[in-house]
Structure 1
Amino acid sequence: MLDWKETIQSTTIRLKELSTRTPDTLRGAALLGGAGAKTNHLGAKTRELIALAVAVTTRCDGCIAFHAAEAVKLGVSNEEMAEALGVAINLNAGAALVYSTHVLDAMETLKQA
């Protein structure tokens, strides 16, 4: 398993370095990250649960580290987290299932060629 605190620290250092090279990119990413908080239709906990589920589906360890830390600060329960991860698991399985139809299509098309 990863050292999640170290992941946060090392990623933060590298992001600061990146921000000196392309500051508008980091400002844009920060603007996107804060957009939901301005409308607050879902609430911070829900946004973090979505972020964790998406982090799992995109396999982003840095995202997991930062959003897990924020979820802990917000008091996300183990049960809430587990339900969000269940959605991520379902989406990954569902995507594999749906994309399997592409294989069927490709095989059928290539056999006809």
Structure 2
Amino acid sequence: MLDWVAYKKELMARMGELGKLSPDTLAGYQVLSGAGAKTGHLDAKTRELIGLAVAVTTRCDGCITFHSKAALTQGATREEIAEALGVAIALNAGAALVYSARVMDAVEAHQKA
């Protein structure tokens, strides 16, 4: 498995380099990233649990390391994290089912053509 702590440090350094080369890109990301916190509709722990589920569905290792640390910092338990991941797993399976139906639709369309 990955050394997640070292990986997070390496990513921070690389993102810092990118921020120097393209400061508006980094600033824009930071605005997007912080936007949800300003509404106060969800607490920070819930946002981090959602972040972990999305990290899994988008297959983003960087997101996994950042949101894992943040979720723990916000007080998320292993059990809460596992439940959030269960939602991600169910949605990925659901998405595969939906897209399988789309494949069958495409196959039918091609057979008729």
Q: What TM-score comes out, normalization by structure 1 length? A: 0.97
Q: 1:109 and 1:9 mapped to 2: Cα distance? A: 50
Name the counterpart of 1:17. Answer: 17
Q: 1:28 and 1:48 mapped to 2: Cα distance? A: 20
Q: Identity rate of aligned residues, in percent?
A: 62
Q: 2:75 and 2:46 mapped to 1: Cα distance? A: 11
RMSD of equivalent CA atoms: 0.7
- Give the alignment of 1:3-82 within 5 angstroms: 3-82=3-82
Q: In the alignment, residue 76 of structure 2 is paired with which amino acid?
A: V
Q: Any idea what SS the aligned residue of 2:80 has?
A: helix
Q: What CA deviation, in whole Å up to 9, does each residue of 1:67-97 have, x standing for no partner?
A: 1011111110111111100100011000000
Name the counterpart of 2:91. Answer: 91
Q: 1:99 and 1:112 mapped to 2: Cα distance? A: 20
Give structure 1 stretches of 5+ with no counterpart.
Answer: none
Q: 1:49 and 1:40 mapped to 2: Cα distance? A: 16
Name the counterpart of 1:104. Answer: 104
Q: Which aligned runs of 4 or more in structure 1 are off by greater than 3 angstroms?
A: none
Q: What TM-score comes out, normalization by structure 2 length? A: 0.97
Shift of 1:43: 0.4
Give structure 2 stretches of 5+ with no counterpart.
Answer: none
Q: 1:40 and 1:81 mapped to 2: Cα distance? A: 21
Aligned residue pairs: how many?
Answer: 113
